[in-house]
Structure formats: C-alpha cells, structure tokens
Chain A
Amino acid sequence: MLQATLGLNLADPALATGVFLMGVKFIFMIGVFTYLVFAFIVVRQIVVMKNTLITPVAPLLQLVSWAHFLTVVFFGLVFLLIL
C-alpha cells in the first residue's frame, strides 16, 4: 500500500532499511518525549515535596532534578539530529 501511495519501491533493500530505521527513530523519539514529561513531573513534584518537608538539602535535590530534565532535553535534541 505504501508502495502504491508514495511510489516507493520497498523491494529496494536500502530504501526498505531507511523506512524501517525511520520507524524505529519515530518510536524512539516518542519514548524520549514521554520520558521528558516524566522528568518534568519529577521537577514539579520536588517543589511540592520540599514545601511539605523543609530541609536544607531540598535545593540540592531540586538542582539534580533540573539537571536530569535538561540532560533529557539535550540528548533528545542530539538523538533527533544524529539518528
């Protein structure tokens, strides 16, 4: 059907591999985006937690959560470019 619609010759191994890898990249990027949402929830939740229990180390934990979130953003962009 893809072949008929887009005029692609999927019998060509190079093209079939390209389409397959594009599919893998798409699914992978959905996973990365979902994880990005989780990382943001962690950041927000630490704000709620540190307001509930006030400790001297709460800013450190918040910093770690932001570092985690920004790492996911950075690598998400890297994956988007290199894959």
Chain B
Amino acid sequence: MVKIFDSTTEKKLPPQDQEIVHRHVDEYSEVMRAEQPATNIWASYLPKPIGLRFDSQEKSEHVLLVLRQHPFTQVGKILAGVLMFLAPFFASSVGLFSFLPGSYQMSFSIMWWIMTFGFFFSVFIIWFFNVYIITDERLIDVDFHSLIYKDIASAKLDKIEDISAVTGGAIQSIFDFGTIKVQTAGSKVTIDFADVPHPSRVTKLLNELQLEEEKEKIEGRVN
C-alpha cells in the first residue's frame, strides 16, 4: 500500500532551527565526572558552577568550567596595597608632612587610605570578572585588562586546532598553575588562558570536549 500521509516520517528542520542534543558532560568527560559542582563563586577553578551565566550564553549551552587567574598571581598587587596602606604611618614617623597643619595631614592620610581601598577593589574586580569560560559549545575569554578596556574572544570547540599547556618555574609547579594556549581556526588565532589553575586537567577536559564534538558530528546528534 502506498503511504500518502506517514506520521512516522521525521520532518527535517532547516539547519538554523536544528537543536544539538548534548549528552551530559559527566557521560563523556572523566575530568568533569570527578568534580563536584562549584558553589564558591570566589574561587579560581569553578567546575559546573551553580548560578553563574554569561551574557551571550545560548539556551542549550551549559557552562562546564570557569577559570580565573590563580590567586598567587595577585600576590604582588596585594603586597603593593599593603605598602600603600602603611605609607601614611611611615610618612608620619619621619615627619614628611610635619610642616603642614594637623588637619591637612589627617586629610591626606584619609584620602590615601580611600585610594588604597580603591586600588584593592579595582584589582579585585578585574581579577573577579576576568574569566575564561568553557562550555559544551565553545571557549570564551573575557578580558578586562583595565577598568576601561574590555575584550571578549570566543571559539567554537570544533574550530580548535591545537592545545598546549605551559607551566614554567618553581612557583607555577608548586601551586599547579600555568598558561593554556588554544590555537583556533577562527579570526583570533590563539586564545590564551593565562595563569589558570590545574592546566593539565583543563587540557584533558578540552581534549575530551573536542572528541565529543567530533562524535556529535559523526553521529549526527541533531533533532
């Protein structure tokens, strides 16, 4: 019998309407399977973070890992801030502004401490919002080099050509952090994840994601 209307036949959607069916990351990633979802939003290594999103995130896209620079990279700035905090005490002990009335000296000190707080705060927010995001679709590098400079680069996982991790020196080896260089076929050739924790673990995850992306293509997992 010739079928005129066949409800079992799947209607193919145009490519823009096709939704990719992702498996849960724990099904294919050994690295992610070993990680508990991160609840501490202040950490520098956040696997499967809870309550964290980004502006260009797609509905079907899941954040797998969020990375910040290792806290050790901020030690120099913290020390500079501590010295800034102590500077008025030093100035007072050597009588640097002793030729000025007390009200002026006090005003200088108060303003200096406010500026020290501002310095600490700006260093902190630049560190906090300067993130590297790995989703099940792409990599995103959010850079706030200073308070007035923003640079966001992203690359699809299937555009990744080469991944390398560089850990150099005693400090990086002891505290387990390093730089991951991801070469892509996109317009921005290299995406650097600078001084991130556990570089080998992140590299392994990226390899697993790449492999899964290839499997998705081969198996045609679209509905």
B-facing residues in A17-45 (Cβ within 8 Å): 21, 24-25, 28, 31-32, 35, 38-39, 41-42, 45
**Bound: A45/B117 CA distance, A:** 17
Q: When A57-B41, A61-B125 are in contact, do A52 and B117 touch as well, CB less than 8 Å?
A: no
Taking the nearest CB of chain A, how far is it from the CB of B200, in angstroms?
Answer: 25
Is there contact, CB below 8 Å, between A79 and B111?
Answer: yes
**Bound: A65/B129 CA distance, A:** 14
Is there contact, CB below 8 Å, between A48 and B41?
Answer: no
Chain B residue at minimum C-beta to C-beta distance from A25: B104
Q: When A28-B108, A53-B129, A54-B54 are in contact, do A42 and B144 touch as well, CB less than 8 Å?
A: no
A-facing residues in B116-143 (Cβ within 8 Å): 117-118, 121-122, 125, 128-129, 131, 142
Query: What is the interface residue range for chain A against chain B?
Result: 20 to 34
Taking the nearest CB of chain B, how far is it from the CB of A58, in angstroms?
Answer: 9
Q: Is B171 in contact with chain A by the CB < 8 A criterion?
A: no
| CB neighbours of A25 from chain B (8 A) | 104
Taking the nearest CB of chain B, how far is it from the CB of A64, in angstroms?
Answer: 7
Q: Is A56 in contact with chain B by the CB < 8 A criterion?
A: yes
Is there contact, CB below 8 Å, between A64 and B121?
Answer: yes
| CB neighbours of A68 from chain B (8 A) | 114, 117-118, 121
**Bound: A55/B66 CA distance, A:** 12
| CB neighbours of B131 from chain A (8 A) | 53
Q: Is B20 in contact with chain A by the CB < 8 A criterion?
A: no
| CB neighbours of B148 from chain A (8 A) | 41, 45
- Some 22 contacts from A to B, beta carbons below 8 A apart, are A24-B100, A28-B108, A41-B147, A42-B118, A46-B125, A48-B150, A49-B125, A49-B129, A49-B144, A50-B129, A52-B54, A52-B129, A53-B129, A53-B131, A54-B53, A54-B54, A55-B51, A61-B125, A68-B114, A72-B114, A75-B114, A83-B107
Residues of A within 8 A of B (CB): 21, 24-25, 28, 31-32, 35, 38-39, 41-42, 45-46, 48-57, 61, 64-65, 68, 71-72, 75, 79, 82-83
Knowing that A28-B111, A35-B118, A42-B118 touch, tell me 20 more A-B residue pairs with CB under 8 angstroms.
A21-B101, A25-B104, A39-B118, A41-B148, A42-B121, A49-B144, A50-B129, A51-B55, A52-B54, A53-B52, A53-B55, A54-B54, A55-B41, A55-B51, A56-B51, A57-B42, A68-B121, A75-B111, A75-B114, A79-B111
